[in-house]
Amino acid sequence: MIEFELTEEQIALQQTVREFCQNEIAPYIKEWDEKAHFDPTILDKMADLGLLGVCIPEQYGGAGFDYVSLGLVCEELEYCDTFARVIMSVHVGLNSMSLYSWGTEEQKQKYLVPQAQGIKKATFGLTEPNAGSDVVGMRSYAKRDGDDWILNGEKMWISLGDVADNFLFFCWTDQEKQKVRDHTGISCFIVERSMPGFSSGTLHGKLGIRAGNTGYFSLQDVRVPKENMLGNEGEGFKIAMFSLENGRYTVASGATGVIRASRDASIAYANTREVQGQKISNFQLVKQKIAEMEADYEMTRLLCLKTGYLKNEGLPSAKAASLAKWQATIRSEKAASMAIEVHGANGYTNDYPVERYLRNCKAAVIYEGTRDIHTLMQADWALGLKREKQARVILPPYQQNAKSFGS
């Protein structure tokens, strides 16, 4: 049964995140964006609220909420600015949920618990300078040395790449399979910043998400014990796809926040700006833009709620997450662009937030599967060329154990 009503706990969580954004991000975001300044204390403040483990079960240090709650948090954060939602996407969606689902008990205790508590920050290293959509084009590799693995490679465009403590690192462990591009030769390792041979840096000159950290990292003969392999040898590609499905859900939910923010900014402006002696909200073509933002918000939010529901129930959700991500991100770009037009020339300046929304939301059309990749995937599902896989993880029911937010 699909419920459209949020629970009291979810409403309290939403309110907590809204207040957090109003107090800790909104007053500073214009300056951070202008100066491309990343404030690392935001991570600790999010950790204090329990957000960095929001849907991780309490047993592993999390707040015990469900997937719908994770989506609500992402929507609220990106309503304010994309960089804050990106933190949730990489730390929770792409990394911690994969540890929860694929990790051994020992890995969960060592890595998941401090991540869910927000003591350690985490991210996801799949993309390389020459391999983004083409995952099997990656060049990173690992070689066995007794009970250890020696890791080498470069990862690029990594959110929190110059900040995080823990990384999921994907690389080839079977060079013969690499030659024939067989993804069952890829494995996943848990890597720590403190390991000898690890180095990282920050990328500069980004169009948007300028208040966030996007970086690169490099591993040169980094030695990890075999216990740091996540999943089995050769399961790296499967883990990456699992992670991306969760990540896509967070990106989609965040994009609904951009549509809502664009709509709200447009309504506020249209109700004050006067042209020819009347408010521009009286003009039909301005109304049309606002109506389209409203429709896009409602439709994409439903796609997100459906995805969250499927995930809560442990039902296959890869197709739904892809559809939500594809549609929410392209509609967020459309909404932000229309919001600039509603604002006229003012929308073209950073006196108003809408130009930031447009710069920020463009990246989401690219990462976690480009618009093109999702278009092709949806066509393949529709044509029966691609099948949904069984869901791997079911969270325990959160209602019984979710921590109380907003108190």
Ligand X SMILES: Cc1cc2nc3c(=O)[nH]c(=O)nc-3n(C[C@H](O)[C@H](O)[C@H](O)COP(=O)(O)OP(=O)(O)OC[C@H]3O[C@@H](n4cnc5c(N)ncnc54)[C@H](O)[C@@H]3O)c2cc1C
> What residues make contact with ligand X under the rule CB under 6 A?
90, 123-127, 132-134, 157-159, 209, 214, 363, 366-368, 370, 372-373, 376
In the block, which residue shows the tokens 């391999």?
A: 131
Using the minimum distance from each CB to ligand X, give the nearer residue, 331 or 374.
Answer: 374
> By Cβ distance, which residue is nearest to ligand X?
132
What gap in Å lies between CA 14 and CA 252, rounded to an integer?
Answer: 17
Q: What are phi and psi of 31, to 5 degrees?
A: -70, -45
SS percent in the chain: helix, strand, coil, step 5 = 55, 15, 30
Nearer to ligand X by Cβ, of 111 and 367: the residue is 367
If you write DSSP's letter for every residue of 290-337 in order, what string do you get? HHHHHHHHHHHHHHHHHHHHHHHHT---HHHHHHHHHHHHHHHHHHHH
**Can you read off the two tokens belonging to residue 35?**
């100066």
Closest to 397 in 3D by CA, of 41, 55, 138: 55
Torsion of CA 347, 353, 359, 363, to 10 degrees: -140
In angstroms and rounded to an integer, the radius of gyration of the C-alpha atoms of the chain is: 21
Cα 230 to chain centroid, rounded: 20
Question: Of 118, 83, 125, 41, nearest to 213 (Cα)?
Answer: 83
Question: Which pair of tokens denotes residue 282?
Answer: 């009286």
The full 3-state SS of 228-270, as one line of letters, equals HEECCCCCHHHHHHHHHHHHHHHHHHHHHHHHHHHHHHHHHHH
Minimal CA–CA distance to 389: which of 297, 315, 321?
315
Instruction: Kindly tell me which of 299 and 366 has the beta carbon lying closer to ligand X.
Output: 366
Residue 154 has a CB neighbour count (10 Å cut-off) of: 18
Annotated catalytic residue, options 3, 58, 368, 388: 368
- Taking the CB of residue 82, how many other CB atoms lie within 10 A of it? 30
- Is there a catalytic annotation at residue 106? no
CB-CB contact of 272 with 279 (8 Å): yes
- Which sequence positions are flagged as catalytic? 368
